[in-house]
Amino acid sequence: MKVMISSLSLALSLAVAGPAVAAEQKPAASTAKAAKPTAADAEAFIAAAEKDLFDYTVEASQVNWVNSTYLTEDTDAMAARINAVGTEKSVKYALEAAKYKDVPGLSADAMRKLDILRTGLVLPAPTKPGAATELNQIATDLQSQYGKGRGTLNGKEISGSDIEEQMGNIERTPTELAEMWTSWHDNVGAPMKDDYARMVGIANEGAKELGFANTGAMWRSGYDMSPEDFAKTTERLWQEVKPLYMALHTYTRWKLNEKYGDAVQPKTGPIRADLLGNMWAQEWGNIYPLVAPAGSGDLGYDVGELLTAQGKSPLDMVKIGENFYSSLGMAPLPDTFWKRSMFTKPADREVVCHASAWDVDNKDDIRIKMCIKVNADDFTTIHHELGHNYYQRAYNKQPFLYLNGANDGFHEAIGDFVALSITPQYLVDIGLLDTAKVPSADKDTGLLLRQAMDKVAFLPFGLLVDRWRWGVFDGTIKPADYNKAWTQLRTQYQGIVPPGDRPANAFDAGAKFHIPGNTPYTRYFLARILQFQFYEAACKQAGWTGPLHRCSFYGNKEVGAKLNAMLEMGASKPWPEALEAFTGSREMSGKAMAEYFAPLKTWLDEQNKGKPQGW
């Protein structure tokens, strides 16, 4: 997952790196009854909070930028200090906002801003003595345990990053894959279980102080609808794309059976999780060579080779990305973007190379941080990251608390849907590809299947991670059943199972970073859905009439104007209004994704004739 750093997201997401911990409060010396707060008090509180957070996030962004681009013990310490301040502010303002939420006479704007402050936390600690310290210690330890995690390969210790790489190596045997999967889940997940359960209890107390039934309900309250309605919405979206996933699952299972035989992967039932090229079976692209249709997967060109042939540099690649947005009528990036961004890895120091987009001053100091290489992946990533930057700049005139996406799925979806536009025709339009070398329609099956192995395969996993946590937070999943429920949900939604029986004390959920890292996950599911909805809307506005996956809206200023109108709204309005501004619909829908992959679905159905579906 790529990263986006914006002002509000920085202020409120610092609680992800460490829990949102409230200062331990002592009883007030005075017993005088406090006056009931008024709407005017709430407005004054909001104004003061926005001013304070605006100023803080500028300094915090600058410090974190230096830390990311000059990694030293000193800059690590500086970042830790400034981020701790942000955590304290987030907690203070969330608790204060909770006091005003039921004040009569509040304007819609005030209520929206109070909700943003109140729901921006991830792990709220209650104010009782000792709770904040304990929650902080547990959350820190869980992340540390994950970071230090090790598994084994052929009996030898191997790091988590090496395991991730080797799980995608299709030359590994089923025995080796099972060993890596099992050792990682046993060594990393199981030791966390008791601490995780304790952390859930403390966070739930904190959520109740903020006015929520539990922490899961608090997470689901940030979507302009009730927690119950949001859960129903995500399930509806899943049902709209489930037939596509089921077809992909059936086809992939059959190919794995052909590769490994009945003893390893039967023709019926769930797929063994360790055979899908990814530690969590969340994306299957690494095993594409095992499922690729003969011939049709070969495009006939490679974007990286096209760039190299024309002598394009990393900076040239960014200029090409900017040109895409300029073609839509958007203003050029500011001079500071070119002076202050990090485009390539410096030779003289350590940096964080993971691609990210930054909004440093809440105005127009937007940047990207990458270690760009001249290849197809980084070409796509540049288009994606710039999507964040143009979103950040578009909403920069909004009040501080609205400097964010319409919901947490929007920001990722903007960059993703623009990246979908890197079609052969777009490459022709920008002079990278010769018209005579545009792949013919018979290549589409391979193209779409390769995309589906990541984008479609991810959907049920993107949904179930938080489905499991919601049950943990509301108590319907007890600690004794943590692993049983995790395995059941993975089987129910993904149709996968562990490579072997799991012990009673297993905690397989803990082997996925976002669980010990306490990062809400539904945002990634929403982004996968929304990117296709945005893409379909843009293609309709551009008058495209061909197959959806071949559409390019490059150069269409009508699309750019409508897109910018949505981006400018930031988080100022409920997300259905932002969605309607661009797509004409107030409802998130998986139908556009189904339409995009419709040719593949037809092909899969033909391949799957006579083969069992489901598990």
Residues tagged in the binding site annotation: 223, 384, 388, 412, 523
The helix (run of H) or strand (run of E) holding residue 52 is helix 39-69
The helix (run of H) or strand (run of E) holding residue 551 is none
Token pair 């309709």 is at which residue? Answer: 540
Q: How many CB atoms lie within 10 A of CB 513?
A: 16
Side chain identity at residue 466, one-letter code: D
Answer positive or negative: Cα dihedral of 515, 516, 520, 524.
negative
- Exactly one of 185, 411, 514, 549 is catalytic; name it: 514
What radius of gyration, in Å, describes the C-alpha atoms of the chain? 24
List beta partners, residue 535.
none
Task: Please confirm, yes or no, whether 514 is among the known catalytic residues.
Answer: yes
List beta partners, residue 271.
496
Q: DSSP secondary-structure letter at 273?
A: G
Percent composition of the chain: helix, strand, coil (DSSP 3-state, to 5)? 60, 5, 35
Q: How many CB atoms lie within 10 A of CB 140?
A: 13
Q: Environment class of residue 460 by beta-carbon count within 10 Å: exposed (0-12), middle (13-18) or buried (19+)?
A: buried
**Category of 588 on φ-ψ map: left (φ > 0), alpha (ψ -120 to 50) or beta:** beta
Hey, what are 204's tokens? 């739930």
* Binding annotation for Zn(2+): 384, 388, 412
Task: Please confirm, yes or no, whether 549 is among the known catalytic residues.
Answer: no
- Exactly one of 385, 411, 536, 549 is catalytic; name it: 385
Q: DSSP secondary-structure letter at 384?
A: H
CA dihedral 561, 563, 566, 570 (to 10 degrees): -110
The three-point CA angle 57-530-298 to 5° equals 110
Nearest-angstrom CA–CA distance, 542 and 104? 47
CB 83 within 8 A of CB 18: yes
3-state secondary structure of 322: helix
Mind telling me the catalytic residues? 385, 514
